[in-house]
Chain A
């Protein structure tokens, strides 16, 4: 077992390389730049392609082109950069091209700050660009998961021909932890739709234009049938001490990992707390939420934002239990503060 001390951003980049990433197209932005820097060092040495694009627009369109060849490609950015990439992500989603897009997220709106944030939740889970579409969204909570989800992300992207977004708070991108380095991926999906010259076959066309209403509607239905299949098969969440919990916290990413400690501390203070950590933000693991509404008395959404995931939690809870909110902006709260937040809600609700 090869255990190495790595930064989250580096672990993710190495994971992507292990998964066969052959092209990285990016533009520098804090706190994601280490991913591009790692790729710039590593990819040329193994014969892969690294291009520093002139803009986020160009970078995501290079991913559009790169993915259309059937190679595993990716880009990484942060908040303002992701906003610029949305045009391309909409095209990639409709063209059904598999690729990895990383958002090492920072606070907004506007230029915001470079501190960690989860404020891009809506952007990531609602499509983000124009038109009806989804991307798959994975939320790692450790440096190990930064590596593992890069590998998983490519697998899901290829299986469903869908762009996969990995969303990690800036802190996680810069957090150093020991990582078990995974084995190289050796089996890959066939991609008969790819464009790389039509030798020995009919020409392939990658296109997102559908001029007639019926064809366009058919395309949208096709995408949404695929999304339904993904919702059936790919919802992922981690549950922690929820079985007898009166108050179940729902939180994702590194924040959720901190909250594990707060759940234990809340229990030491007589509050029976539990935690659900959505791993896929889309598809949202609503069944995990629904299941605990049978036994818990209140759900508590904790987010590094003004409250975005809480909408999905409320939809999943379907009014069975109240859903409370605790949010901070621009930093990762410490376990003591989060414990207090849990106990306060429990007291207010008379638990």
Chain B
């Protein structure tokens, strides 16, 4: 009997600890499928963040390192420079990447580090219990903006893809969403393109992935997807923001 669907080799057998309806599981699988299809699992080194995906080193079946909050791009920089034959990816949430790690991500992009960043934007700090992130939408309630995010107090939500696309060192920057089968397919295409950008040595690559957090949003998984479509995608438009071609 032909096998038509199986767990990617780049994932371990460990059970995900993620909440029901959380999209981390889908995104892990997409990254793993790309590692498999490009046959680079044995050359891959993944850097996990602090946040919900802190345990990703138990799920990816390749060399992994668990970073301090926000520092993954600095760590990946050194590993890639010292071991250029490796494929480096960081897996970071929005508190990690866009708040405490803003310095590291911007400068990894400025330097054009040949690493691939998968940035999970779910508009808040998930693991610590739903605090406001730089990506929290205006009016959105979080535990540290209990009356809703206001411009006067917290400023505007940061658009990381647009911000990093402005750097010359960025070779591939895109934003995708995990809200429909069609968009999941597009997300996988983007993840693969990020790895391909690294393979070609073109520079820094990042895929911002709009994700759900049913638990901290207080919504069921289906309504969470709808909330993402109604609120996130209008503010965080999908698409490619930077595609550097081979010279």
In the bound assembly, the distance between CA atoms of A195 and B67 in angstroms comes to 14
Chain A residues lying within 8 Å of B65, measured Cβ to Cβ, are: 65, 68, 195, 205-207
The answer on a CB contact under 8 Å between A62 and B62 is: no
- Considering only residues 54-76 of chain A, those with a C-beta below 8 Å from chain B are 54-55, 57-59, 61-66, 68-69, 71, 73
CB-based contact A51/B63 at 8 Å: no
B189 contacts partner chain A, Cβ-Cβ < 8 Å: no
Taking a contact as CB atoms closer than 8 A, the residue among B43, B47, B54, B78 that contacts A51 in the complex is: B78
Q: Which of A173-181, A196-204, A267-275 contacts B (4 or more CB under 8 A)?
A: A196-204
| Chain B 83-119: CB-based contact to A (< 8 A → 1; otherwise 0) | 1011000000000000000011011001100000000
CA distance A176 to B34 in the complex (A): 55
Q: Which of B43, B54, B57, B74 contacts A205 (CB 8 A)?
A: B57
In contact, B41 and A198 (Cβ under 8 angstroms): yes
B150 CB–A CB distance under 8 Å: no
* Residues from chain B with Cβ under 8 Å of A66 in the complex: 78-79, 81-82
Which of B55, B61, B74, B76 has a CB less than 8 Å from the CB of A53?
B74
Q: How far is the CA of A244 from the CA of B247 in the complex (A)?
A: 77
List, in ascending order, chain B residues with CB within 8 A of A73's CB. Answer: 78, 82
Q: Mark B126-149, 1 if CB is under 8 A from A, else 0.
A: 000000000000000000000000
A71 contact from B55, B60, B82, Cβ within 8 A:
B82
Contact A51 B103 (CB under 8 A): no
A-B contacts, CB under 8 A, total: 124
Contact with A along B201-235 (1 / 0, CB 8 A): 00000000000000000000000000000000000
CB distance from B31 to the nearest CB of A (A): 15
CB nearest to B106 among chain A residues: A54
Interface size on A, residues (CB 8 A): 37
A197 and B61 contacting across the interface, CB-CB below 8 Å? no
CA distance A22 to B55 in the complex (A): 30
Instruction: Say yes or no: is B52 at the interface (Cβ < 8 Å to chain A).
Output: no
Given contact pairs A57-B103, A65-B65, A203-B62, A49 touches B81 in the complex (Cβ within 8 A): yes
- CB contacts (< 8 Å) of A205 on chain B: these are 57, 63-66
**CB-based contact B68/A69 at 8 Å:** no
* Residues of A with C-beta under 8 A to B61: 203
Give every chain A residue within 8 A of B75 (Cβ-Cβ): 61-62, 64-65, 68
Interface of A is mostly: mixed
* Bound Cα distance A208, B60 (Å): 17
Residues of B within 8 A of A62 (CB): 74-75, 77-78
In the docked arrangement, what's the CA distance between A22 and B79, Å? Answer: 12
What A residues does B62 contact at CB under 8 A? 197-198, 203
Q: Which residues of A contact B44 (CB under 8 A)?
A: 197
Whole-angstrom distance between the alpha carbons of A62 and B72 in the complex? 9
B45 within 8 A of A: yes
B71 interface residue, CB < 8 Å from A?
Answer: yes
Query: Which of B43, B55, B82 has the largest number of chain A CB atoms within 10 A?
Result: B82
Given A51-B77, A197-B43, A209-B66; A23-B103 close (CB under 8 Å): no
A65 x B66 contact (CB < 8 A): no
- Residues in A whose Cβ lies below 8 Å from that of B66: 205-209
A-side contacts of B60, CB under 8 Å: 203
Q: Which residues of A contact B41 (CB under 8 A)?
A: 198
Known A-B contacts A54-B107, A204-B63; the reply to A69 vs B71 at CB < 8 A is no
Question: Could you say which residues of chain B place their CB within 8 Å of the CB of A58?
Answer: 71, 74, 77, 103-104, 107
A243 contacts partner chain B, Cβ-Cβ < 8 Å = no
Contact B43 A199 (CB under 8 A): yes
Chain B residues with CB below 8 A from A65, complex form: 47, 65, 74-79
Q: Does A253 contact B (CB under 8 A)?
A: no
Residue numbers in A under 8 Å from B82 (CB-CB): 22-23, 49, 66, 69, 71, 73
A198-B42, A199-B43 known; A61 vs B104 contact (CB < 8 Å): yes
> Are A68 and B103 neighbours in the complex by a CB distance under 8 Å?
no
Q: Please name the residue on chain B nearest to A206 by beta carbon.
A: B65
Chain B residues at the A interface, C-beta cutoff of 8 Å: 41-45, 47, 54-55, 57, 60-68, 71, 74-79, 81-83, 85-86, 103-104, 106-107, 110-111
24 sampled A-B residue pairs with Cβ under 8 A: A23-B81, A51-B81, A53-B74, A54-B104, A58-B104, A61-B71, A61-B104, A63-B78, A64-B68, A65-B79, A66-B78, A66-B79, A68-B79, A69-B82, A91-B68, A197-B83, A197-B86, A198-B42, A198-B62, A203-B61, A203-B62, A204-B64, A205-B66, A206-B65
With A54-B107, A64-B68, A205-B65 given, name 20 new contacts (CB 8 A).
A49-B81, A61-B104, A62-B75, A64-B78, A65-B75, A65-B79, A66-B81, A68-B75, A69-B82, A73-B82, A196-B79, A197-B85, A198-B41, A198-B42, A203-B62, A203-B63, A204-B63, A205-B66, A206-B64, A208-B66
Nearest 7 A/B pairs, CB to CB: A65-B75, A65-B78, A54-B107, A66-B78, A62-B78, A61-B74, A195-B63
